Structure 1
């Protein structure tokens, strides 16, 4: 899975929502926490390059969402609300009263939902490669055809093509990304994509009043600049930061993104 930082702590915790969640942590346990929420068909490893770049004084916690990575994979219940309730329950379980949330793509929608259902638990939001909604997105509808045909074990060539980046990343990192995605059963690929195609909470985005960083790669052909401008208009205390990167900007530009994230958190 590539080289990992020696000070990463791997753990699991039983949530009140009924799921056992795997997570990875770095930094002092008593410090203000940033909780990282990965995207569709990823895991905590999606943020491994960011965790390595973060100052050791920061408490960083990266979760495996239900059905992903080494977390439990229950039948059903893969809605944004279910994911968001897991995040709040996770914060309860590990003693995080209020956190900075950073989510990538699907994880950004989950972070948005947490800020709606438990606003008192969120200090700031960082939305990476995000949008107001992914409902009926044409590229997701195109992906659905391939995902509907998946069976277990999921084909490695499909995953490698799905996870391909716009700009080069280290080979061992990409191998780790693919290996983590292969842990996800075909049914969860389907059920989670179903959620992304159906759910739309964009009308509630003005409820989010915490400082929000919208991080976007200018080469992102999935969620284009139009989506970022939509977020900026709907979330009152938000600003856009752009990168010479694609949809996985935190993979492609981890040092630059982490520097901006640390500065944003310090000011939030």
Structure 2
């Protein structure tokens, strides 16, 4: 290999640094555990000062807390952060019931009670954003502020629901590396950010006993009739009183971007920030930009 080639290789390595869950967390003090939240054995991580303003992090459909690995280091310097696996997802308990939005809301409330948090800001991604908004509407006294990534709960699209179901069922029925990797094509724009850690964790989740049945309960919200009764109407978005930061991933035109743009005009105390070079998981794909915007917002609204 000549000198020019070596220099090019090193330059490429600098431009595209190695990323893993551990590389994001290796300089951060955090703890992982399980806690009983209303009868649900709930997996979670905690980072940051326990007497700091609480920040809950709620992942999307069939995900796990690892999707927030690039945010915990920054936010935990100022906030008491909890990221957890929602009911039925990750390595939390999987009761044999459909996981409609009120079920998730109750799990969030029970988790807060279990960890001793009375009021919190909530960062939600996709389904997590949907849960966060419904929680804020149901429990305004327990909600400080909201951050919504890939906002959901206002609009529906048959093709998007079909794609979500197809990829998730294929992966849970045959959790091969290829099938599980395909799930992340719809979540992460650039292939280099679809890190092996995410695939490996999700593969382990999908291999758990009873996961096929749990996935049916998770994906119930993709069924038209059931989804319709869980939607958040425009007048409800207008009644939302919590200060809200809405993130729009403008390089990926889809129902989630459209939702973000619409709800940012409906929510009375909304701020809207556009982030590029990302799709569904802006919090991981563009962490510097996301964390900067999120920290600025939370330091103004979450204290």
| Paired residue secondary structure (1:195) | helix
For structure 2, the 5+ residue unaligned runs are 1-19
Q: Quick check: 1:216–1:247 contact (8 Å CA) kept in 2?
A: no
Q: Quick check: 1:153–1:186 contact (8 Å CA) kept in 2?
A: no
What is the TM-score when the length of structure 1 is the normalising length?
A: 0.90
The structure with more radius of gyration: 2
Q: Who is 1:161 aligned against?
A: 182
Q: Deviations over 1:121-146 (max 9, x none)?
A: 00001000113435344222233345
Query: Relative to structure 2, which stretch is displaced further, 136-145 or 7-16?
Result: 136-145
Residue 82 (structure 1) shift: 0.5
Q: Quick check: 1:223–1:247 contact (8 Å CA) kept in 2?
A: no
Q: Who is 2:300 aligned against?
A: 267
Q: Deviations over 1:100-158 (max 9, x none)?
A: 10000111001011111111100001000113435344222233345455654533322
Q: Quick check: 2:239–2:267 contact (8 Å CA) kept in 1?
A: yes
Query: Relative to structure 2, which stretch is displaced further, 3-12 or 105-114?
Result: 3-12
Residue 193 (structure 1) shift: 2.0
Correspondence 1:194 to 2:220:
yes
User: Residues 169 and 262 (structure 1 numbering): CA distance in 2 closer, same or farther, change over 3 Å?
Assistant: farther
Q: Who is 2:12 aligned against?
A: none
Q: Deviations over 1:67-96 (max 9, x none)?
A: 222211221231111011100111111111
Match of 2:36 among 2, 7, 14: 14
Q: Over the residues paired in the alignment, what is the CA RMSD in angstroms?
A: 2.1
| Paired residue secondary structure (2:293) | helix
Which has the bigger relative contact order, CA under 8 A and spacing at least 6?
A: 1
For structure 1, the 5+ residue unaligned runs are none
| Paired residue secondary structure (2:98) | coil
Q: Who is 1:38 aligned against?
A: 59
Match of 2:249 among 217, 228, 232: 217
The answer to which structure has the higher helix fraction is 2
Correspondence 1:207 to 2:233:
no
Structure 2 CA distance, aligned partners of 1:149 and 1:104?
22
Q: Quick check: 2:98–2:218 contact (8 Å CA) kept in 1?
A: no
Q: Deviations over 1:44-64 (max 9, x none)?
A: 000011113335232111011
Structure 1 CA distance, aligned partners of 2:272 and 2:158?
22
The equivalences for 1:81-120 within 5 A come to: 81-120=102-141
Q: Deviations over 1:212-237 (max 9, x none)?
A: 00012111233354322221232111
| Paired residue secondary structure (2:71) | helix
Structure 1 CA distance, aligned partners of 2:66 and 2:169?
25
Q: How many equivalent pairs are there?
A: 265
What is the TM-score when the length of structure 2 is the normalising length?
A: 0.80
Residue 205 (structure 1) shift: 1.8
Q: Who is 1:255 aligned against?
A: 288
